Amino acid sequence: MIRSERAHLHVAALTHPGLSGKNNEDRFAVSAYRLGSNNPTPSLFAIVSDGIGGHRAGEIAAEMAVNTISHTIAQSDGSQPLATLEQAIHAASQAVAAQAQADAGRQGMGATCACTWVIGNRLYTASVGDSRIYLLRDRKFRQITTDHTWIQEAMDKGILDVEQAHNHPNIHVIRRYLGSAKSPQVDLRLHLRPGESDAQAEANQGLALHPGDMLLLCTDGLTDLVHNEEISRVMCQRGDLQTVAQSLIDLACVRGGHDNITVILLSVPK
């Protein structure tokens, strides 16, 4: 792909360390391309990553994840987006794991990732961990990724409901992350309707985006403190994207801001 100076979607991205005094271990990137010198189809790739591990190891893992995945996407021709996303994420996970093994001070480091790749008007997603992607369409707001957490598994089995999940002590237990000893399964499900099978959710990949659609990528510093209904209300205000992004950050900070907070907003021009 060939770099473009201007994205074909409206973009806003913000990160905040939160109010706990910890280092900001979140990383993100947004990159615009056209598919080739003879193919002017626009392409936009966005990623958020939340680092895991102390002694600054988390931020190193997140930066490695963002850089490795973004580089792999940039080197592709966009012809096989899902295979490329999977390859990129596995490469990042292996790089993080190798770095952790080589440096005793970085053992146990890892990262989440949530990726969107819009080629023309077609949406492709991939995720590992508990960073999320949401879609707002016609004022209907839905989480289109699934958290890879102990909490989500308990909710899927009916052990916990939504309210119990918010205050549960296992809320930060992650089942999949980049840098694990065994490379994690990349989640290619794109959920649009309740009760979809995994195969149906994967078949939603390549979703045609509509004018006015908005996508939100975010780390759990937002979603731990701000419920989906509240995020939806802020996004439905339809103000300037940068203002909406700042409003989401501010709301998480008002609630305590106990973690790093990163949001990326993408909007399809009307």
Q: Which residue has the higher pLDDT, 53 or 214?
A: 214
- 2-267: CATH architecture: 4-Layer Sandwich (3.60)
Q: Which amino acid is at 12?
A: A
Tell me: pLDDT of 55 over 90: no
Query: Mind listing the pLDDT tens digit for each residue in 21-36?
Result: 889 999 999 999 999 9
Q: Do 231 and 248 contact (CB within 8 A), yes or no?
A: yes
Q: Do 225 and 141 contact (CB within 8 A), yes or no?
A: no
Q: Which residue has the higher pLDDT, 45 or 57?
A: 45
CA separation, residue 154 to residues 46, 124, 149, 160, 190 (Å): 30, 27, 9, 6, 21
Tell me: pLDDT of 263 over 80: yes
Query: Mind listing the pLDDT tens digit for each residue in 95-113?
Result: 999 998 887 777 789 999 9
Q: What is the pLDDT of residue 150?
A: 79
CB burial string 52-83: b at 16+ within 10 A, e below: bbeeebbbbbbbbbbbbbbebbeebebeebbe
Q: What is the pLDDT of residue 54?
A: 64
- CA-nearest of 92, 107, 108, 131 to 216 is 131
The stretches of the chain forming alpha helices (DSSP H) are 57-75, 81-102, 150-156, 162-166, 198-203, 220-223, 228-236, 241-254
Q: What is the pLDDT of residue 216?
A: 98
DSSP code of residue 104: G
Mean pLDDT of the chain: 93
CA separation, residue 150 to residues 106, 113, 160, 222 (Å): 24, 17, 11, 19
Q: Do 245 and 214 contact (CB within 8 A), yes or no?
A: no
Handedness of CA 173, 84, 118, 13 (dihedral sign): positive
Q: What is the spatial distance between Cα 123 and Cα 105, in angstroms, rounded to a whole number?
A: 39
pLDDT band at 44; cut points 50, 70, 90 = very high
Q: Do 208 and 221 contact (CB within 8 A), yes or no?
A: no
Query: Mind listing the pLDDT tens digit for each residue in 211-224?
Result: 999 999 999 999 99
Share of the chain above pLDDT 70, in %: 97
Q: What is the spatial distance between Cα 163 and Cα 143, in angstroms, rounded to a whole number?
A: 17
Tell me: pLDDT of 60 over 90: yes
Q: Do 222 and 263 contact (CB within 8 A), yes or no?
A: yes
State the average pLDDT over residues 235-261. 93
State the average pLDDT over residues 169-186. 88
Give me the residue spans of the domains in the chain: 2-267
